[in-house]
């Protein structure tokens, strides 16, 4: 059986490895481009959110390459992600493409994978499958951790584009790794390369910006116009707390550390958002409070147009901004969004944060002089 799946950042590296190791013929969708988005938008409901449209584009391009089945995530709650698969199945059927949709959720994960393997004429015992899941997740986790470091340190790169090129090379190297020793060697090699490409830390700390929002829009740089990278190129150190490996640990695997973090965020939200609203609304509010309390200079929220959980969070962020004195920029994107306008907004936001810091430092100096 030739299978495919939608893109979500570099999670394809781990998903591809796992599916190949259990015996599927894997077709990774082509990298997301403007053509992918236009193709998906053409066959999607007009007011559905952007991730849905991009995924339809992924499916159609993969089916054209020969895919017969699609692995997709499901879920429950107000976020429409849990219903994507059902609507997408109908769309593909209307197009004369009755592709099998294999929907994975926490409650049916084992059953669906087992049934898909049987349909593929294979069987695998769980004591064999679990190590494969562990190694595949390790691949994704490493790439997520490297991306987090690059977002935080890109402002120090000696040559513009060095960090982005390094990450692209790391993705290829991790994709090729088939053993734990190879993966450890990749980690060691790229750690050394990263250190060689960075300038010493400046005496004056950089602007610190926390990025929050809907997980797909945060992770998939091809649809968010590389917001994290652009902020780094503008001289900011960027922090993001949502990654695909986090999502897997929270929703598909019994990881107590991930669940403990979810409970912590829920408690953090209580004064502003006392109940869940679906999606990552809780995380947007909780991490925004974290960044504010840690003294960050600003917060950027990214969401797709019509995303209900993030719209609710967006309505609360001005209160957090006022209570903690931290500026917030909200970026809403759909298939009509333009890169030039977004870049202008980011540049203006960073300029405002820099001026705000200079004014604050000037006020502190005046206060010190008056005290003396």
Does 92 reside within a domain? yes
Model confidence at 370: pLDDT above 70: no
> Mean per-residue pLDDT for 80-91?
87
Q: Which of 182, 203, 224 lies at the terminal end of a domain, its last residue?
A: 203
Let me know whether 46 and 118 are in one domain.
Answer: yes
Measured CA to CA, the distance from residue 193 to residue 190 in angstroms comes to: 5
Let me know whether 102 and 165 are in one domain.
Answer: no
Average pLDDT of the chain to the nearest whole number: 90
Does 312 reside within a domain? yes
Does 301 reside within a domain? yes
Let me know whether 256 and 363 are in one domain.
Answer: yes
Instruction: Give the model's pLDDT for residue 307.
Output: 92
Under the banding of pLDDT at 50, 70 and 90, the label for residue 74 is confident
Q: Which of 166, 187, 203 lies at the terminal end of a domain, its last residue?
A: 203
Let me know whether 47 and 146 are in one domain.
Answer: no
Instruction: Give the model's pLDDT for residue 360.
Output: 81
Model confidence at 372: pLDDT above 70: no
> Mean per-residue pLDDT for 4-31?
94
Interval 298-354: pLDDT, tens: 999 999 999 999 999 999 999 999 999 999 999 999 999 999 999 999 999 999 999
Model confidence at 365: pLDDT above 60: no
Let me know whether 178 and 255 are in one domain.
Answer: no
Instruction: Give the model's pLDDT for residue 178.
Output: 94
Instruction: Give the model's pLDDT for residue 318.
Output: 97
Question: Containing domain of residue 27, as a range?
Answer: 2-124
Does 129 reside within a domain? no
Residue 143 or 124, more confident:
143
Does 35 reside within a domain? yes
Let me know whether 300 and 236 are in one domain.
Answer: yes
Residue 198 or 98, more confident:
198
Let me know whether 195 and 229 are in one domain.
Answer: no
Does 130 reside within a domain? no
Q: How many domains does the chain fold into?
A: 3
Instruction: Kindly tell me the burial class for residue 252, based on how many C-beta atoms sit within 10 Å of its own C-beta (0-12, 13-18, 19 or more).
Output: middle
Model confidence at 358: pLDDT above 80: yes
Interval 26-55: pLDDT, tens: 999 999 999 999 999 999 999 899 999 999
Instruction: Give the model's pLDDT for residue 320.
Output: 97
Does 311 reside within a domain? yes
Let me know whether 149 and 86 are in one domain.
Answer: no
Let me know whether 213 and 188 are in one domain.
Answer: no
Instruction: Give the model's pLDDT for residue 10.
Output: 94
Average the pLDDT over each of 76-90, 221-235, 349-363 and give the range with the smallest value. 76-90
Let me know whether 20 and 37 are in one domain.
Answer: yes
Let me know whether 222 and 363 are in one domain.
Answer: yes
Let me know whether 218 and 155 are in one domain.
Answer: no
pTM of the prediction? 0.91
CA separation (Å) from 96 to 83, 91, 93, 114, 279? Answer: 21, 9, 5, 27, 31
Model confidence at 22: pLDDT above 60: yes
Average the pLDDT over each of 6-15, 108-117, 228-237 and give the range with the smallest value. 108-117
Q: Which of 97, 124, 151 lies at the terminal end of a domain, its last residue?
A: 124
> Mean per-residue pLDDT for 108-135?
74
CATH number at residue 244: 3.40.50.11900
> Mean per-residue pLDDT for 170-186?
96
Model confidence at 272: pLDDT above 90: yes
Interval 214-253: pLDDT, tens: 999 999 999 999 999 999 999 999 999 999 998 888 877 7
């Amino acid at each position: 059986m030739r299978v495919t799946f939608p893109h979500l950042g570099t999670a394809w590296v781990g998903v591809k490895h796992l599916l190949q190791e259990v015996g599927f013929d894997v077709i990774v969708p082509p990298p997301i481009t403007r053509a992918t988005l236009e193709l998906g938008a053409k066959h999607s409901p007009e007011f559905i959110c952007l991730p849905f449209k991009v995924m339809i584009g992924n499916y159609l391009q993969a089916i054209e390459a020969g895919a017969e089945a699609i692995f997709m995530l499901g879920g429950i709650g107000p976020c429409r992600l849990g219903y994507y698969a059902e609507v997408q199945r109908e769309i593909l059927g209307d197009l004369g493409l009755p592709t099998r949709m294999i929907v994975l959720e926490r409650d049916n994960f084992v059953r669906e994978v087992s049934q898909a393997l049987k349909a593929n004429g294979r069987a695998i015992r769980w004591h064999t499958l679990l190590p494969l899941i562990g190694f595949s997740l390790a691949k994704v986790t490493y790439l997520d951790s490297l991306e987090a470091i690059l977002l935080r340190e890109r402002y120090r790169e000696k040559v513009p584009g060095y960090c982005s090129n390094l990450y692209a090379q790391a993705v290829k190297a991790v994709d090729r790794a088939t053993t734990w020793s190879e993966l450890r060697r990749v980690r060691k090699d790229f750690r050394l390369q990263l250190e060689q490409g960075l300038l010493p830390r400046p005496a004056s700390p950089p602007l610190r910006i926390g990025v929050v929002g809907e997980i797909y829009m945060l992770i998939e740089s091809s649809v968010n116009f590389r917001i994290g990278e652009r902020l780094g190129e503008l001289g900011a150190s960027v922090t993001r707390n949502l990654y695909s490996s986090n999502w897997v640990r929270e929703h598909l695997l019994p990881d107590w550390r991930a669940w403990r973090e979810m409970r912590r965020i829920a408690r953090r939200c209580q004064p502003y958002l006392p109940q869940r609203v679906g999606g990552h609304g809780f995380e947007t509010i909780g991490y925004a409070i974290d960044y504010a309390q840690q003294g960050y200079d600003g917060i950027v929220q990214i969401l797709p147009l019509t995303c209900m959980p993030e719209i609710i969070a967006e309505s609360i962020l001005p209160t957090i901004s006022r209570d903690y004195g931290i500026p917030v920029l909200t970026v809403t994107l759909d298939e009509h969004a333009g890169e030039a306008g977004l870049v202008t907004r980011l540049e203006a936001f960073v300029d405002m944060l820099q001026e705000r810091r200079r004014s604050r430092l000037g006020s502190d100096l005046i206060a010190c002089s008056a005290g003396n």
